[in-house]
Structure 1
């Protein structure tokens, strides 16, 4: 019996070793075209991917797109052309740790750093002194809230915000319901590194399918593109290791701190820690606010989320999409999403 288990072990070890070193999947033609149309700039020795498209000649308006977790700027592909017909410039980036941007390990990933990267990109493009419209989703909503806080407090080098449109993000920690796998990875422990290293397309697609509506599921090719963007530069390995210790010890983002890797999912804990700062920015601003909401969203469920949003932010306008639209409205209903956004932009 012992010899049998020994043989199984000897066979399993090299198989796992091979599996863990499988190269990332090749880019599809569509994803390759997206990357080829973009560029990189350097922020604190990290390469950050972005796209900057010239659009409508008769407009001077600029829109900056902030994507969600765990995907990338490619989330905006279905409304990209429509935006270029209205805005003079359409700009999107992959946050550090996402998409085609660098995914360092170890690294203290934080919303504060992502906001500084947006500022750095606009400075790189010579747009830091021009007003821009922010359009955000999910994780990007929280980055937008930090940018709004800096703008309202006249922080040096802050983005000049002309308007802000949020969509299906965990704006309020008390109404945010992360998926089970997010909770496991966020809280660290023995399972986190195992799950991230053994993750594959099948588990990724099944997990992401839960936040799309039953009638608006992406195609297999679209799921594969999302997975490819995650796997680029071993992005699946920076999601976990979300050590709470840095925050419990009170280390700010810029402090040297212990040599721990704070994974991307740490943003969930950051939302709780900095709720007053980020919700307060929305409550006190005079910037035009709008929300585009997919009501079938299990992460920010209806009516709980929407009732609180209208109660806390009565000055904001709201577009509620069809009942079958869920957490990724710009992908599930691109036309409805685009029309809602353009109606908001054209209203002021």
Structure 2
């Protein structure tokens, strides 16, 4: 009798998983407006979403924004207007496998490919001869490190980098502490596949809320927008493939940390010190030791892993102070 119930339970899990994925969430008016303000370009037969806003008159500066995992370019919405008042053009994209961009599966997602996507966008926009300021967060930090390596080694098609600002990313694998769900999904296999299909808004919001500070929690509407962008094109079903970047950081540690150590590009870090993923003081001490020429902005003690959403004015002011300093 006991074995019969176990079999029924195992058969019911896939049915429950399907049930939890229907219907897909619909975008809110703000998220729908964000998408309507952008467009797509094609990179190796994949559609990549991006937004490109004209900004300050009299400025020739361009900034490209690189978002984190598991979210999208919408992470930058709270500082977008402020950036357009300083930069001639403000550009953000959804990486392949994220947001409104295509999410092919099966597919071998890699940081090297995502750097190629950014270079492809720069070519598409006719900006290869322009110097670009890069502003990155989390996963985007690692993409920026690869772009910096290509620039420093004069690789064909590389972006001309004018400055680089990083924020709360796994720059050093040895001080990076991925969440349990990330480790679980990365391993693949039956348990990982079930977890991806069983994931719903409740579990997603619990997991993401844990990397925000207790006093800077996103609203339910904000979490819903993040969940909707992730679920677009079944993005929850490619998370195991995308998460291979955790191993790629270890594999290419010397290449990516070395790019930061050897660069002459102005370098800055904006850091939310309550971050459980890149915890203080462990991360910050190593950063200052390895990169002593980089400038650093440490935000208030209650700011955590998503500083551009938790403290948009503090984040924006820190970034503009850096840009105006050289």
The Cα shift of 1:80 comes to 0.2
CA contact (8 A) 2:67 2:75 kept: yes
The count of corresponding residues between Structure 1 and Structure 2 is 326
The Cα shift of 1:18 comes to 4.5
The Cα shift of 1:5 comes to 4.3
The Cα shift of 1:58 comes to 1.4
Instruction: Tell me the residue number matched to 1:276.
Output: 254
List, as ranges, runs of 4+ consecutive aligned residues in structure 1 with deviation greater than 4 Å: 1-11
TM-score by length of 1: 0.91
Report Cα offsets for 1:236-295 as digits up to 9, x if no partner. 00011xxxxxxxxxxxxxxxxxxxxxx010001000000000000000000000000000
Which has the higher mean CA deviation after the structures are superposed, 211-220 or 2-11?
Answer: 2-11
The Cα shift of 1:22 comes to 1.0
Give matches, 1:308-323, under 5 Å: 308-323=286-301
Instruction: Tell me the residue number matched to 1:346.
Output: 324
Give matches, 1:53-92, under 5 Å: 53-92=53-92
What SS does structure 2 have at the residue aligned with 1:239?
A: helix
Separation in 1, partners of 2:182, 2:17: 25
In the alignment, structure 1 residue 171 sits paired with structure 2 residue 191:
no
Q: Provide structure 2 residue ranges, at least 5 long, that are not aligned to the other structure.
A: none
Separation in 2, partners of 1:7, 1:126: 58
Report Cα offsets for 1:302-339 as digits up to 9, x if no partner. 00000000000000000000000000000000000000
Separation in 1, partners of 2:126, 2:41: 13
CA contact (8 A) 2:119 2:157 kept: yes
CA 1:195–1:6 in 2, change beyond 3 Å: closer, same or farther?
A: closer
Report Cα offsets for 1:194-234 as digits up to 9, x if no partner. 10011000000000011000000000000000000000000
Separation in 2, partners of 1:79, 1:99: 18
CA contact (8 A) 2:20 2:200 kept: no
Separation in 2, partners of 1:182, 1:7: 28
CA contact (8 A) 2:21 2:197 kept: no
